[in-house]
């Protein structure tokens, strides 16, 4: 598809010359003599690049440029400057133009400027798409009350510079919370740097965080920056902070208190502006009591604690999460996503998921590979500890020969209500919604049937 170029210049000869040069190279050209006419084209046509004259009657190029970018923020603009107007051209660059051409115009000069501007625009679009793909990998999926609550907490703490300590079991998505805090903060356009403190050997964690000078230790063949310096102006996420050694904890404490540190083997002191978010699946309060974690560092990190809910605490999100993982895995591998049949969904909802979201994701990938059909049924699932197959109707207590219709109806109702309550971990509100009855009515039936958790 040819690319569309808009020329805005009040000189007829300039418009004709540029039109001939660009049309001859296969570009689709629109030429207008005024800023208002150019704006009209921009509103109607998918313009990729604008060649904009600065000196024009009614509205000059410098005043028109912000209006063009307001309509299309990703627009590539090359300004045209006459003799003595170079200062204006520089001003245009500061306002958002990509480049400027100085009159008189030559064919080679025009085509080179246009080609470079369009290539830069395409590269920027690719980077935006790539960034969106990366961000989609860290999306928080679900509509449960537990997830809504954590989202609300993130929204409150993100705009501040307060340090955040994310607690929760392994696999609950603590990194997703950290990235959400960063994305909603004033540091969103600055780096987000992650360090997994449990995955790096103790003898290397210090150089990983603070960097090292050449010759600081065996293998240090060049000076390298650490994660603190890489995250300057942005966010540093210290995952599994509970696995950090006491000696490194002391240096992290200094970096947090004073905002400064030295590279391993170096004497130069560096100052950084970094927001630290830490996460752990350990009970740091107990670790402090046992002397395994510094109390002063714990209080420095634990300014705003956030707890990632376990998957069993947000069961209603399981179908949405499974669908999200099925789609993501299918897109990654180039095939159609599988779907969950109702009986498989019921099994997944009854399972306690000790490995949380990570376990669900791994199961989805396994099913995507091993199941040949388009749908996943209960019989396709591996044995999940603590989950029994749905009981047939003749196994419902209270049924059998000689029972009245009322007794049969009540036995079935009692069983169905008990199943719903267990499925939603005895959250009466969610069970009532699933059963399609009022919460107060469900409480009455629980009392009537003497149901207990």
Candidate from 41-45, 79-83, 331-335, 345-349 with smallest mean pLDDT: 79-83
pLDDT band at 58 (very low <50, low <70, confident <90, very high): confident
pLDDT digits (tens, 9 = 90+) for 123-139: 887 777 666 666 556 68
Percentage of the chain with pLDDT > 90?
57
Say whether both 49 and 175 belong to one domain: no
pLDDT of residue 444: 87
- How many CB atoms sit inside 10 A of residue 202's CB? 12
Contact 32, 43 (CB under 8 A): no
Core vs surface per residue 226-243: b (16+ CB within 10 A) or e: bbbbbbbebbbbbbbbbb
Say whether both 346 and 440 belong to one domain: no
Say whether both 296 and 271 belong to one domain: yes
From 331, 350, 380, the end of a domain falls on 380
Say whether both 12 and 74 belong to one domain: yes
Candidate from 27-31, 345-349, 385-389 with smallest mean pLDDT: 385-389
Say whether both 224 and 321 belong to one domain: no
pLDDT digits (tens, 9 = 90+) for 280-313: 999 999 999 999 999 999 999 999 999 999 999 9
- Measured in degrees and rounded to the nearest 5, phi and psi for residue 32 equal -135, 150
Sign of the torsion formed by the C-alpha atoms of 112, 116, 117 and 122: positive
| Enclosing domain of residue 207 | 145-307
Mean pLDDT of 360-375: 92
pLDDT of residue 355: 95
Percentage of the chain with pLDDT > 70?
93
How many domains does one find in the chain? 4
**Angstrom distance (rounded) from CA 79 to CA 98:** 8
- Measured in degrees and rounded to the nearest 5, phi and psi for residue 216 equal -65, -30
pLDDT band at 360 (very low <50, low <70, confident <90, very high): very high
Candidate from 7-11, 315-319, 410-414 with smallest mean pLDDT: 410-414
Q: With 80 as the cut, is the pLDDT of residue 108 above it?
A: yes
Q: With 50 as the cut, is the pLDDT of residue 389 above it?
A: no
From 380, 413, 432, the end of a domain falls on 380
**Angstrom distance (rounded) from CA 350 to CA 367:** 18
Q: With 90 as the cut, is the pLDDT of residue 158 above it?
A: yes
76 DSSP β-pair partners? 49
- Measured in degrees and rounded to the nearest 5, phi and psi for residue 76 equal -90, 125
pLDDT of residue 152: 95
Report the interhelical angle of 405-423 vs 428-435 (nearest 10°).
130
Say whether both 303 and 179 belong to one domain: yes
Say whether both 184 and 126 belong to one domain: no
Q: Is residue 300 packed enough to be buried (19+ CB in 10 Å), middle (13-18) or exposed (0-12)?
A: middle
Out of 228-242, 328-342, 394-408, give the one with best mean pLDDT: 228-242
Say whether both 104 and 227 belong to one domain: no
Say whether both 212 and 250 belong to one domain: yes
Contact 74, 125 (CB under 8 A): yes
**Angstrom distance (rounded) from CA 174 to CA 180:** 10
**Residue located via tokens 């307001």:** 70
- Measured in degrees and rounded to the nearest 5, phi and psi for residue 131 equal -65, -40
- How many CB atoms sit inside 10 A of residue 412's CB? 14
Look at residues 416, 424, 404 and name the one whose alpha carbon lies nearest to residue 445.
416
Q: With 60 as the cut, is the pLDDT of residue 395 above it?
A: no
pLDDT digits (tens, 9 = 90+) for 217-263: 767 668 889 999 999 999 999 999 999 999 899 989 999 988 889 88
Q: What is the CATH number of the domain that holds 10?
A: 3.40.50.2300
Contact 337, 329 (CB under 8 A): yes
- How many CB atoms sit inside 10 A of residue 71's CB? 11
Whether 16 is covered by a domain: the verdict is yes
Contact 38, 15 (CB under 8 A): no
Residue 213's contacts (CB-CB under 8 Å, 6 or more residues apart) are 220, 223, 263, 264, 265, 266
Q: What is the CATH number of the domain that holds 370?
A: 1.10.8.60
pTM of this structure? 0.62
Look at residues 260, 258, 262, 250 and name the one whose alpha carbon lies nearest to residue 297.
250
Contact 384, 351 (CB under 8 A): yes
């Amino acid at each position: 598809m040819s690319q569309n170029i808009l020329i805005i210049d009040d000189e007829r000869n300039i418009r004709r010359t540029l039109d001939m040069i660009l049309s001859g190279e296969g570009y689709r050209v629109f030429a207008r003599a005024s800023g208002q006419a150019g704006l009209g084209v921009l509103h109607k046509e998918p313009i990729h690049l604008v060649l904009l004259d600065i000196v024009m009657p009614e509205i000059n190029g410098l005043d028109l440029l912000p209006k063009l970018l307001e309509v299309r923020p990703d627009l590539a603009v090359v300004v045209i400057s006459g003799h003595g107007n170079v200062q204006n051209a520089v001003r245009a660059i500061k306002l958002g133009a990509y480049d400027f051409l100085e009159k008189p115009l030559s064919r080679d000069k025009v085509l080179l400027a246009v080609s470079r501007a369009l290539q830069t625009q395409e590269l920027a679009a690719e980077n935006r798409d790539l960034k969106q793909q990366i961000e989609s990998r860290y999306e928080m999926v679900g509509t449960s009350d537990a997830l809504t609550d954590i989202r609300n907490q993130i929204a409150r703490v993100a705009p501040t510079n307060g340090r955040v300590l994310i607690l929760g079991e392994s696999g609950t998505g603590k990194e997703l919370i950290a990235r959400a805090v960063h994305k909603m903060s004033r540091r969103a356009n600055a780096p987000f740097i992650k360090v997994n403190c449990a995955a790096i050997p103790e003898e290397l964690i210090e150089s990983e965080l603070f960097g090292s000078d050449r010759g600081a230790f065996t293998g240090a063949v060049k000076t390298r920056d650490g994660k603190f310096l890489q995250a300057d102006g942005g966010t540093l996420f210290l995952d599994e902070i509970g696995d950090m050694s006491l000696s490194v904890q002391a240096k992290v404490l200094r970096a947090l208190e004073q905002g400064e540190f030295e590279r391993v083997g170096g004497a130069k002191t560096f100052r950084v502006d970094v927001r630290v978010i830490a996460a752990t699946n350990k009970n740091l309060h107990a670790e402090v009591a046992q002397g395994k974690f510094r109390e002063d560092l714990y209080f420095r990190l634990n300014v705003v604690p956030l707890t990632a809910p376990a998957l069993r605490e947000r069961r209603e999100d399981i179908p949405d999460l499974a669908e999200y993982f099925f789609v993501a895995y299918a897109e990654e591998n180039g095939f159609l996503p599988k779907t969950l049949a109702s009986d498989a969904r019921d099994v997944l909802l009854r399972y306690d998921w000790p490995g949380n979201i990570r376990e669900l994701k791994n199961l989805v990938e396994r099913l995507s590979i091993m199941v040949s059909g388009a749908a996943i049924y209960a019989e396709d699932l591996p044995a999940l500890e603590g989950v029994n197959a749905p009981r047939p109707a003749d196994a419902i207590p209270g049924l059998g020969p000689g029972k009245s219709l009322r007794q049969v109806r009540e036995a079935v109702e009692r069983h169905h209500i008990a199943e719903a309550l267990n499925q939603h971990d005895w959250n009466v509100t969610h069970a009532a919604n699933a059963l399609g009855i009022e919460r107060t009515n469900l409480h009455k039936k629980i009392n009537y049937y003497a149901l207990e958790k």
